[in-house]
Amino acid sequence: MNIKPLIANLDVFTNNPFLNTETHTYSYADLKKEVLRQLNYLKENEVAQHSTVFIQGDFSLSSIALFLALYQNDNVIALNTAANEQEMANKIAVAQAQYLIDTETAQIIRYPMSTQENPLMESLKACGHAGLILFSSGTTSEPKAMLHDLSRLVESYQHKRPRRLSIFLFLLFDHIGGINTLLNILSIGGTATIARIKSPDVVASLIEKYRITVLPTSPTFLNLMLISNVFIHYDLGALRMITYGTEPMPESLLVTLRAYLPHVKFLQTFGTSETGIMNTDSLSSDSLFMRFQEGDTEYRIVDGELWLRSGTQIMGYLNYSMDNFTKDGWFKTGDLVEINADGYLKILGRSKEIINVGGEKVYPAEVESVLMQHPQVKDCKAYGEQNGLTGQFVAAEVVLDADYGETSNDVLRAIRQFCREHMDNYKVPIRLKIVEAIRYSSRYKKLLIAS
């Protein structure tokens, strides 16, 4: 058997710790043993090379080993962490999966082979490469299925110098950010840490216990950590870098985080399921401006929208048109950006989330940044509501400090007045709603609120 470089790396790092859980630490030797066991499992169950295998479950030693075994076997791997049965059924159908393996139970289910294979799959198999299918949300409708050339994606992580970094594997297994973190760890011989429950207290306790140095996460989760006071209750002194992405960071939140963690470097990251994760540099830990490092990534800004073209972008959608791609390969991200004189970019927000007040654009993140400066606001979500005169007006949900000690109407009036003093009138929320908590997805990203 011709062992692929990523698998061969496991012998290079054999004595390094690979994975910390809440109760165990596993070495790279343990991972290699589990990969060989999974390869034998695939052989015993006659899982054919190049067939499509649907993995159900989040990160664990066995799921990571299965992923590597399928990669070694040149399979197409479809990933899913959601437990919703209808969503699973939708994704299995779109992927034309021939096998489902539940990593919790090790159960394998076979499906009949499709009579007509997708041309993209045929093209991938003709190259003899492994594949990766990532999905958009598909709870009630057919999800977008994005096909990556996994062999090419893995190759982009090779030739990195070994580094004994301890990195929290926070983002989900079926998220491009989670795959990016995993491949980075494997390529440098680093140590991953996972948690079954990603509450602020559990995450902070594991950072303290295992002296974790890098935390990739989202602004929403960082704010939940603030609300839970974990920066006070736990020793997070080992942290050296926090990378954040998936949604815009409110500027005032970054300022507060920096006050609690002055020794930590904050790095804005950017990527999409379609293009992969880009290598970025932040202007500084205090700044929301970033730039893309030289390499396989090109970018351009068209009418304020960021377009990307990369060497790790998808082969295509299995079930959708390529309308978001130009004929010459540029992906229209839907993210609106600002660029400064030195070429650094600032992500302002998604074009579909922009609030249009009488022709004036309002970005939810800038409203949230002001709201979160108010001493009685712990969390918030700004969004647009329909209005017959102006098209839309700004509304917001707010989570208040439990000890605000005034009637809710008095507090809301004070918050509105605070907003008027800190931003233009058309950006001030007309409607404020007090809620117990802001709704967010399993990826710790604020959920859209329907207008």
CATH code at position 421: 3.30.300.30
Angle at 153 between CA 149 and CA 157, to 5 degrees: 165
Residue 267 lies in a domain: no
Number of domains in the chain: 2
Report the distance separating Cα 93 and Cα 240, nearest Å: 43
pTM of structure: 0.92
Contacts for 317-320 with beta carbons within 8 Å, 24 or more apart?
A: 317/144, 317/145, 317/146, 317/147, 318/94, 318/95, 318/96, 318/118, 318/120, 318/121, 318/133, 318/145, 318/146, 318/147, 319/94, 319/142, 319/144, 319/145, 320/144, 320/145
Alpha-helix runs per DSSP H in 229-378: 230-233, 251-260, 364-371
Who's near 102: CB < 8 A, 6+ residues apart? 56, 57
Helical residues (DSSP H) of 267-426, grouped into ranges = 364-371, 408-422
* Pair of tokens at residue 382: 């700004």
Q: How many CB atoms lie within 10 A of CB 128?
A: 10
Q: Is residue 50 part of a domain?
A: yes
Query: Is residue 233 included in any domain, yes or no?
Result: no
Q: Which of 207, 205, 201, 275 is nearest to 245 (CA)?
A: 275
Q: What is the pLDDT along the chain (451 residues), one digit of tens a residue?
A: 689 999 999 999 999 999 999 999 999 999 999 999 999 999 999 999 999 999 999 999 999 999 999 999 999 999 999 988 888 999 999 999 999 999 998 899 999 887 788 899 999 989 999 999 999 865 446 789 999 999 999 999 988 899 999 999 999 999 999 999 999 999 999 999 999 999 999 999 999 999 999 999 999 999 999 999 999 999 999 999 999 998 999 999 999 999 999 999 999 999 999 999 999 999 999 999 999 987 778 999 999 999 999 999 999 999 999 999 999 999 999 999 999 999 999 999 999 999 999 999 999 999 999 999 999 999 999 999 998 887 899 999 999 987 665 678 889 999 999 999 999 999 999 999 999 999 998 888 998 775 5
Decide which of 128, 155, 182 is a domain's last residue: 155
**Mapping DSSP to helix (H, G, I), strand (E, B) and coil, where does residue 178 land?**
helix
Residue with token string 């993210």 = 335
| C-alpha to C-alpha distance for 180 and 170, rounded to whole angstroms | 11
Q: In this structure, is residue 391 part of a structural domain?
A: yes
Whether residue 253 contacts residue 244, with contact meaning beta carbons closer than 8 Å, is answered with: no
Give the number of other Cβ atoms within 10 Å of residue 335's Cβ. 19
What's the mean pLDDT when you consider all of the chain? 93
256 domain residue, yes or no: no
Domain limit, last residue, from 139, 155, 171: 155
In a domain, 66, yes or no: yes
Which range marks the domain in which residue 45 is found?
5-155
Q: Of the candidates 101, 130, 155, which is a domain's last residue? A: 155
Q: Are 90 and 141 in contact (CB under 8 A)?
A: yes
Would residue 84 count as lying in a domain?
Answer: yes
- Indicate which CATH number applies to the domain containing 17: 3.40.50.12780
In a domain, 414, yes or no: yes
